[in-house]
Structure 1
């Protein structure tokens, strides 16, 4: 992936993935307490699913400069999780998403990464909006969407079978 250090915030670097970092992605999405909000079954990812996701994120970045990015902490290089933009399959709209290792949750990293992504998105892309959604049971993720300025739109079952609260952030509403 080109531009490996794509976004920098006060405490984080959001960068592209390397294929040899698959174990980090497995540590994240292979954890059932994290995966419970990512699919209807809540099942942890298999190594094959993680490798497929990694290839998809790399391809999406190379073709559209979107994709989930690797989060590392500046102070010590620790892997924190992933955050970035996908394309929502039903509509093709850019969609923000994030997931953090359990030991890094509750320290403001998701909000910091999402703010950095929001600003990067509106500074570098022509799109007039992006969407975000989270499982209605996932209060911390819903709070992050609100804190970065997103507006609730509706609740629906997403393409993965989760009942999600959807949000939108329009360029015109971004300071």
Structure 2
């Protein structure tokens, strides 16, 4: 997983697309529209290369606030074969950049949380290749279907809110307004979604994608570098909950699982997040755990304050709750330092039945 897999997927996507498109380089790409897009097939190939180069530039330069101000254009006399050579070159540069980019590095991308890591840029690069190759092929009357692992790579990393279907390629086409899917209404608007990252003085809280959640739930590292005794059991259980929500089509990534990563060494020390999106009254439940070696150092309190502040600043969240065992004094101290208080009788009624033997703690908007 991670850099090597991302680079491999970019390389594979480019090679597969170019192999298909090279069968029709004798056609007039400049005079034929590319499927449903507004560009010609030649302009669409230029667009693919331009995006691959732009993503490589963002990662290589670690741009933080905006796009690196450059573009590439095909020479005026470039034909279809020349355009494909540029796409191959751009794909090679992006793959090399992904491999050389550190795990924790992020660079600017506007949607939706203004940054992406190397995996996000890899997935976006693969998406550009697959979707616009489909557009070119459609314009030229050519059949095109990439290996299923490529659209699946894209869906599980930058479309976390899209319920997976039995056919990843058809699902990706439907997701991006390029096809129909039985039982689902057509989509006229869409955007991909890179993972949310929240920053504290000593930590980053990194949103977990469905791809990472699946690996964590299966006993892997989820593309995080964990402390020796991590991840703890609760984090793997939360990853399993994330996958269930994703498969059911109810996953909202900003209300999923976050992995806590120390800034000083890039090591993951625990998990924290929500049990689901807020209900119609704006109530959401939080949970957390740390590897034993990271406990007693204030990390959980620091992370919970940041997560609570972020959530309660939203219009759709009015209060947060957590349930804790009566004999778990350490967790009770964490929750109290983060501003939560034992629920009143009225609050207990509002939140519904709590699991027997657990205490309910609540933090309301404006209380932090």
* TM norm structure 1: 0.72
Shift of 1:5: 4.4
Asked if the contact 1:5–1:13 (Cα under 8 Å) also holds between the matched residues in 2, the reply is: no
Deviations 1:92-150 (A, max 9, x none): 83011110011111111100110101111122343211111211111111111111111
- Matched residues in 1 for 2:258 and 2:221: separation? 12
Asked if the contact 1:68–1:97 (Cα under 8 Å) also holds between the matched residues in 2, the reply is: no
Summarize the Cα distance change of 1:57–1:148 in structure 2 as closer, same or farther, 3 Å threshold: farther
Shift of 1:50: 6.5
- Matched residues in 2 for 1:83 and 1:51: separation? 10
> Residue 124 of structure 1 aligns with which residue?
314
Asked if the contact 1:149–1:169 (Cα under 8 Å) also holds between the matched residues in 2, the reply is: yes
Q: Report the 3-state secondary structure (helix = DSSP H, G, I; strand = E; otherwise coil) of the residue aligned with 2:270.
A: strand
Summarize the Cα distance change of 1:166–1:98 in structure 2 as closer, same or farther, 3 Å threshold: same
Asked if the contact 2:204–2:263 (Cα under 8 Å) also holds between the matched residues in 1, the reply is: yes
Shift of 1:74: 1.1
Shift of 1:3: 3.8
- Structure 1 stretch 3-12 or stretch 72-81: which is displaced more? 3-12
> Residue 68 of structure 1 aligns with which residue?
257
Residue 28 of structure 1 pairs with residue 218 of structure 2: no
Higher helix share: 2
Shift of 1:60: 2.8
Q: Report the 3-state secondary structure (helix = DSSP H, G, I; strand = E; otherwise coil) of the residue aligned with 2:297.
A: coil
TM-align CA RMSD: 3.2
> Residue 295 of structure 2 aligns with which residue?
105
Summarize the Cα distance change of 1:113–1:125 in structure 2 as closer, same or farther, 3 Å threshold: farther
> Residue 168 of structure 1 aligns with which residue?
362
- Matched residues in 2 for 1:87 and 1:154: separation? 23
- Structure 1 stretch 100-109 or stretch 13-22: which is displaced more? 13-22
> Residue 203 of structure 2 aligns with which residue?
12
Unmatched segments (≥5 aa) in structure 1 = 30-34, 39-44
Aligned residues: 154
Residue 53 of structure 1 pairs with residue 253 of structure 2: no
> Residue 112 of structure 2 aligns with which residue?
none
- Matched residues in 2 for 1:147 and 1:120: separation? 17
Q: Report the 3-state secondary structure (helix = DSSP H, G, I; strand = E; otherwise coil) of the residue aligned with 2:265.
A: coil
Asked if the contact 1:134–1:165 (Cα under 8 Å) also holds between the matched residues in 2, the reply is: yes
Summarize the Cα distance change of 1:24–1:100 in structure 2 as closer, same or farther, 3 Å threshold: farther
- Matched residues in 2 for 1:133 and 1:72: separation? 24
* TM norm structure 2: 0.37
> Residue 99 of structure 2 aligns with which residue?
none
Q: Report the 3-state secondary structure (helix = DSSP H, G, I; strand = E; otherwise coil) of the residue aligned with 1:4.
A: coil
- Matched residues in 2 for 1:57 and 1:6: separation? 20
- Matched residues in 2 for 1:124 and 1:167: separation? 20
Asked if the contact 2:342–2:361 (Cα under 8 Å) also holds between the matched residues in 1, the reply is: yes
> Residue 286 of structure 2 aligns with which residue?
96
Higher strand share: 1
Shift of 1:61: 3.0
Task: Report which of the two structures shows the higher radius of gyration computed on alpha carbons.
Answer: 2
Shift of 1:4: 2.5
